[in-house]
Amino acid sequence: MRSYMLMTPELVMLATALLAMFADVLPVRGRRVAAWIGAAGAAAAAIIALIVGPGAVTLFGGMLRFDSIAVLARVATAGLTAAYLLWLAGNGASIGRAREATALALLAAMGGMLMSGARDLVVLFLTMEAATMPAYVLIGFDRGDERGMEGALKYFLLSMVSSLVMLYGMAFLYGMSGTTVFDGLRVTTFGALGLIAAVLTIVGLFTKLSAAPFHYWSPDAYAGAPAFSVAFVSSVPKIAGVVALVRIVGVLGPQVRGLAGILLAVAVISMVIGNLAAFPQKDVRRLMAYSGVAHVGYILLALAAGTPAGSLAAVLYAVAYAVPSMAVMLIVAEEGPALDDLDGLLSRRPFAAWAMLVFLISLVGVPPLAGFFGKLYMFSAALAADLVWPVVLALVFSAVSAGFYFGIVRAVFFGQRPRAVRVHGSRNRAADVAIAICLLATVLIGLLAGPLLSAMGFALP
């Protein structure tokens, strides 16, 4: 019973997902009811996860343990899901099938929350699939859109192949160690075979995170999917993915020579491809897909440092990236996916325009916002590990990224679009509150990053 009490946040998410799924039979009905229920349940789960806090107790024979990093990921995942569903409650009438979208988002978030505490290969694989499978449906949410169905199919096929490769690597790790628990994995004496097993295992996580060269599904999948689906899939599940990668690398990195070099190579490739490919994009969904590839590169650079400071910085930046990234796509979902659709946003919706500016400069890494401190911690950890030239490259591409983000800013502030043109006419105040919450979080994570992390028991770099 004690184990299930520690899993209360996940159980709340599951119960809320089931309640939202069957919202049509509740006494109070309406298109937005499911989203309101989902937002309340996710917010409650975030609060409970914060109250429960970190613990040294392992659950189910060492398969799960919610330490400080897991608590950070659980709170961030549930909190972002609550903001997302609040936005959905404000736009549910125009989106349609909000009940299904709510249940899928809650189930994916629940899988991610469990994934952040996984300390066993089997649990990691199962929770990763639990977090990913609802995303397949969200990507293909518009069943009448051929591009969306094509993108969802690409995501599904590549994800399934990468999962099988990952499972193959896990089988090697089990064969070498005789256990699936992370703390018992021993591959030091197996040389090249240990490296092969480690690489096969992390390839699946590379694909889930859209790290180059395993990113090919994301631009097409995002471009064909509804923007509100992209807002969730491109941000919230990545927090748990980064935590899982931190766990695996933390265990195998010290034992496997060459793993840090592979992480560094993938980091550099991701930064180069992501930033350069984003420039010519005229669809904001594709632009943000390539932007996500670049940001995963920055995260892998911190992991390549192979230090606790680098691991903490990677998780912190995953959160600092997810908040503004999701908010940008929520605004795009209201206005339209093309850059031209954002023309004249300042004259139509001044608050959304200025919020968009804050989100974008946070992604660039401008102080004092969340993105700046996330990059500061990551690059500091990499420099402490003597990764000088990759950090210089990351700084250069961080500056380069301002170029394609400025394309969005230019459309928002200087584009010309008739005031009467609107994509979603049924948006209500709940959607604006969701954007405001993301804006507040982007600012506060930057201003209060140090005190918040210290209060949660982290040792800052």
Residues 6+ apart with CB under 8 A from 283: 223, 337, 338, 339
Alpha helices in 22-97, H assignment, sequence order: 33-52, 68-95
Token couple for 67:
């330490």
Calculate the dihedral angle through the C-alpha atoms of 421, 424, 427, 433, rounding to the nearest 10 degrees: -90
Query: In this structure, is residue 381 part of a structural domain?
Result: yes
Tell me how far apart the alpha carbons of residues 169 and 171 are, in angstroms, rounded to a whole number.
Answer: 5
Token couple for 324:
């503004």
Number of domains in the chain: 1
Q: Is the model more confident about 62 or about 181?
A: 181
Binned at pLDDT 50, 70 and 90, residue 25 comes out as: low
CB 68 within 8 A of CB 408: no
Query: In this structure, is residue 9 part of a structural domain?
Result: yes
pTM of the complete model beyond 0.85? yes
Query: In this structure, is residue 287 part of a structural domain?
Result: yes
Tell me how far apart the alpha carbons of residues 33 and 27 are, in angstroms, rounded to a whole number.
Answer: 11
Query: In this structure, is residue 461 part of a structural domain?
Result: no
For residue 257, the model assigns a pLDDT of 86
Furthest-apart CA atoms within the chain: distance in Å: 68
Count the helices and strands in the chain (H runs, E runs).
20, 0
Q: What angle do CA 19, 35, 360 make, to 5 degrees?
A: 140
CB atoms within 10 A of CB 388: 10
Report residue 370 CA to chain centroid gap. 15
For residue 16, the model assigns a pLDDT of 93
**3-class DSSP state of 22:** coil
Binned at pLDDT 50, 70 and 90, residue 425 comes out as: very low
For residue 31, the model assigns a pLDDT of 61
Query: In this structure, is residue 240 part of a structural domain?
Result: yes
Report residue 349 CA to chain centroid gap. 27
Tell me how far apart the alpha carbons of residues 300 and 443 are, in angstroms, rounded to a whole number.
Answer: 24
Q: Is the model more confident about 99 or about 13?
A: 13
CB 115 within 8 A of CB 240: yes
For residue 199, the model assigns a pLDDT of 92
For residue 3, the model assigns a pLDDT of 61
For residue 421, the model assigns a pLDDT of 47
| Percent of the chain with pLDDT strictly greater than 70 | 91
For residue 423, the model assigns a pLDDT of 47
pLDDT digits (tens, 9 = 90+) for 369-404: 888 988 998 999 999 998 899 999 999 999 999 999
Residues 6+ apart with CB under 8 A from 422: 348
pLDDT digits (tens, 9 = 90+) for 262-299: 999 999 999 999 999 998 899 999 999 999 999 999 99
pLDDT digits (tens, 9 = 90+) for 238-247: 999 999 999 9
Question: What burial letters (b/e) apply to 184-195, b meaning 16+ CB within 10 Å?
Answer: ebebeebeeebb
The mean pLDDT value for 366-371 works out to: 87
338 forms beta bridges with 283
For residue 456, the model assigns a pLDDT of 55
Binned at pLDDT 50, 70 and 90, residue 459 comes out as: low
For residue 142, the model assigns a pLDDT of 78
Alpha helices in 385-428, H assignment, sequence order: 388-414
Query: In this structure, is residue 256 part of a structural domain?
Result: yes
Query: In this structure, is residue 176 part of a structural domain?
Result: yes
Tell me how far apart the alpha carbons of residues 50 and 97 are, in angstroms, rounded to a whole number.
Answer: 31
Token couple for 115:
């994934």
Long-range interactions of 454-461: CB distance < 8 A, separation 24+ = 456/53, 456/54, 456/68, 456/71, 456/72, 457/54, 457/68, 458/68, 458/312, 459/308, 459/309, 459/312, 460/309, 460/312, 460/377, 461/309, 461/310, 461/312, 461/313, 461/377, 461/380, 461/381, 461/384
145 class by beta-carbon count within 10 Å (0-12 exposed, 13-18 middle, 19+ buried): middle
CB atoms within 10 A of CB 122: 14
CB atoms within 10 A of CB 257: 13
Task: Please state, rounded to an integer, the average pLDDT across all residues of the chain.
Answer: 86
Residues 6+ apart with CB under 8 A from 404: 275, 278, 279, 281, 287, 291
Phi, psi values for residue 118, rounded to 5°? -65, 130
CB 57 within 8 A of CB 6: yes
Token couple for 6:
């520690």
Phi, psi values for residue 181, rounded to 5°? -75, 135
For residue 231, the model assigns a pLDDT of 92
Binned at pLDDT 50, 70 and 90, residue 440 comes out as: very high
Tell me how far apart the alpha carbons of residues 107 and 378 are, in angstroms, rounded to a whole number.
Answer: 30
CB 149 within 8 A of CB 140: yes
For residue 284, the model assigns a pLDDT of 92
Inform me whether the pLDDT recorded for 156 exceeds 60: yes
64 forms beta bridges with 59, 118
Report residue 244 CA to chain centroid gap. 12
The mean pLDDT value for 34-45 works out to: 92
Query: In this structure, is residue 460 part of a structural domain?
Result: no
For residue 29, the model assigns a pLDDT of 57
Inform me whether the pLDDT recorded for 461 exceeds 50: no
For residue 150, the model assigns a pLDDT of 80
Inform me whether the pLDDT recorded for 153 exceeds 50: yes
The mean pLDDT value for 34-54 works out to: 89
Domain of residue 300 covers 2-455
